Amino acid sequence: MTMNLGFLTIYWRDMIRFVRFRTLLFSSLVQPALWMAFFGIAMSSNFNRLTTDVPPLPGIPNIGYLTFMAAGVIAMTTLFTSLFGGMVLLFDKNWGLMREVMASPLPRDHIIFGIALSGMTKSFIQSVIIMAFGILIGAEFFAGFGPAEVIFSILGILLFVGIFSLGFLFLSAAIAISLETPEGMQGIMTLLTMPIFFASNALYPVNAFPPILQAVSMGNPLTHLVNGIRYFAIGGHYQAIGIEYITTTTDLLVSLSVLVVFAAAMFGLAWWRFQRAVVT
């Protein structure tokens, strides 16, 4: 009995399209770098000036806002890439390609896996580029880490990025297969992006949030992705923007568990929608 690897065809097709569309490739790689360069450097100078009167805690690394925010930019880029990852399914539906794929012997869950794996690969590429660019402009990632620790930390970041991206790619695929026009999907994605992004700790601490927003943030997958990235890139104990941050191994495992549960739930939703989808 041979293993059905049809999802690899979907994966390679989407990756080839990603590489060949030079404008899409260039914008997806340059946009987060520009965001970090302009927004990060500008806001870093403001936050650093506002927190000059806050005494550093003895024996605890005191990182600048650029480093704090750079981890959030990695998470933000992963969110945007993943949410819009299912858009390719709508174009395939409009061009008639999805009808041929659905009529083939290829199991429908392979379509989900193929799109999800290609989106996850794109997120990996973007994350590595942002990390390298962040270090280049002054982000203190992996400060004091040895070579083995840096490799382990990068793998840890990619683990969190991968699971998070899978969850939102599954969600994106479920929405895409249920709609008929890219405009409708773009509206839904834009509606989802704002509350997910701003109700998280990507750009600022959530300590000052009202209690209800703090509760929302704790259930927000983006918050748990940022927790993982900061833990591996900065450390589990540091001071930033005048606030002391402590992330224990238990906290890290909780964040990872939340992302795993979210990804599993979104796969269930995508599988359910694909099993009932009718493409004409």
Average pLDDT over residues 129-135: 88
Query: If you ran DSSP here, which 8-state letter would residue 244 be given?
Result: E
- Taking phi first (over 0 means left), then psi (-120 to 50 degrees means alpha), and beta for anything else, what does residue 149 get? alpha
Confidence of residue 1 (pLDDT cuts 50, 70, 90): very low
Confidence of residue 2 (pLDDT cuts 50, 70, 90): very low
Average pLDDT of the chain? 83
pLDDT of residue 225: 97
- The domain segmentation of the chain, as residue ranges, is 31-49+60-276
pLDDT of residue 97: 66
Tell me: the pLDDT tens digits for 239-276?
A: 887 788 999 999 999 999 999 999 999 999 998 988 87
pLDDT of residue 96: 66
Q: Which amino acid is at 41?
A: I
Tell me: the pLDDT tens digits for 64-86?
A: 888 888 898 899 889 988 988 87
Q: Which of 115, 118, 70, 51 is nearest to 273 (CA)?
A: 115
pLDDT of residue 274: 83
Q: Is the pLDDT of residue 40 over 80?
A: no
Which of 70-79, 81-90, 164-173, 197-206 has the lowest average pLDDT?
Answer: 81-90
Percent of residues, the chain, with pLDDT higher than 70 = 83
Residue pair 143/61 in contact by the 8 Å Cβ criterion: yes
Which of 92-96, 123-127, 181-185 has the lowest average pLDDT?
Answer: 92-96
Q: Can you read off the two tokens belonging to residue 2?
A: 């041979």
Give the residue carrying structure tokens 């700790």: 201
Q: What are phi and psi of 206, to 5 degrees?
A: -95, 5
Average pLDDT over residues 100-127: 81
Q: Is the pLDDT of residue 3 over 90?
A: no
pLDDT of residue 90: 77
Crossing angle for the helix pair 221-233 and 249-276, nearest 10 degrees?
140
Q: Which amino acid is at 212?
A: I
Give the β-pairing of 243-246 and 62-63: unpaired
Angle, alpha carbons 96-100-106 (nearest 5°): 145
Q: Is the pLDDT of residue 149 over 90?
A: yes
- Taking phi first (over 0 means left), then psi (-120 to 50 degrees means alpha), and beta for anything else, what does residue 91 get? alpha
Helix, strand or coil for residue 246? strand
- The DSSP line for 125-165 is HHHHHHHHHHHHHT--TTTT--HHHHHHHHHHHHHHHHHHH
24 or 252, which is more confident? Answer: 252
191 or 23, which is more confident? Answer: 191
Question: CA-to-CA distance for 83 and 102, rounded, in angstroms?
Answer: 22
Q: What's the pTM value of the predicted model, to 2 decimals?
A: 0.88
pLDDT of residue 81: 86
78 or 2, which is more confident? Answer: 78
Q: Please return the burial class of 56, using the count of CB atoms within 10 Å of its CB with bins 0-12, 13-18 and 19+.
A: exposed
161 or 144, which is more confident? Answer: 161
pLDDT of residue 203: 83
